[in-house]
């Protein structure tokens, strides 16, 4: 499922027009420039709205924290960071591959080993949910295809060793 937010739409629209022709006439370039300016104006309006929302939430947070301190004579308890606030669903192949590779590279230094379970646990800790029939198999498949950085350990199941980068 492709993201259809207005920001994605302007990008897809401009990319489509840029890919359609390798030679641009003066009129084509002016049309693309104007289209870019229009998109920029729309994004600027969204930014103003988001900043307003951020300001309102910050104000509410400060007021509620102040009320808590006044009423209970102590600081409010910290939020439990282990609770997933927002979950990002990895529902496309490109998102899955990029996220799995990014996590695997973060977990293992050259010469170290990483398992599919470690990668799945780290994805979950980061608030990313792998949308797949068999998530461990999906991780293993991606890792087997990531030969530039990892090799499967032959004697172990779902274990991958990070290789030294080639100069």
pLDDT at residue 130 in the model: 85
pLDDT at residue 83 in the model: 55
User: What is the radius of gyration, based on Cα positions, of the chain?
Assistant: 23
Q: What is the dihedral of CA 58, 61, 63, 69, to 10 degrees?
A: -140
pLDDT at residue 6 in the model: 60
Helix (H, G, I), strand (E, B) or coil at 83: coil
Residues 6+ apart with CB under 8 A from 118: 107
Please give the angle made by the CA atoms of 25, 39 and 45, to the nearest 5 degrees.
160
pLDDT at residue 150 in the model: 93
Give pLDDT tens digits along the chain (167 positions): 344 456 667 777 777 777 777 677 888 888 888 888 888 888 888 888 888 999 999 999 899 999 999 999 999 888 776 554 566 778 788 888 999 999 999 999 999 999 999 999 999 888 888 888 899 999 999 999 988 899 999 999 999 999 987 76
Output DSSP code: residue 84: -
Please give the angle made by the CA atoms of 2, 14 and 11, to the nearest 5 degrees.
40
pLDDT at residue 74 in the model: 92
Residue with token string 């939020």: 79
Q: Which helix (H) or strand (E) holds 152?
A: strand 150-152
Q: Which runs of E-coded beta strand occur in 43-141?
A: 88-90, 113-115, 128-130
């Amino acid at each position: 499922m492709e993201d259809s937010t207005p920001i994605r739409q302007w990008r897809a629209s401009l990319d489509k027009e840029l890919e359609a022709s390798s030679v641009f006439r003066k009129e084509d370039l002016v049309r693309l420039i104007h289209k870019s300016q229009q998109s920029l104006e729309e994004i600027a309006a969204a930014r103003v709205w988001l900043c307003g929302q951020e300001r309102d939430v910050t104000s509410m947070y400060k007021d509620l924290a102040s009320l808590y301190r006044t009423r209970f004579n102590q600081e409010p308890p910290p939020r439990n960071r282990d609770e997933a606030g927002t979950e990002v669903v990895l529902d496309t192949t490109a998102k899955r591959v990029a996220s799995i590779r990014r996590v695997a590279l973060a977990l293992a230094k050259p010469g170290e080993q990483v398992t599919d379970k470690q990668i799945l646990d780290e994805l979950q800790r980061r608030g990313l949910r792998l949308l797949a029939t068999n998530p461990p198999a999906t991780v293993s498949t991606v890792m087997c295809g990531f030969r530039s950085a990892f090799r499967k350990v032959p004697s172990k199941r779902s274990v991958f060793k990070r290789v030294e980068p080639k100069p």
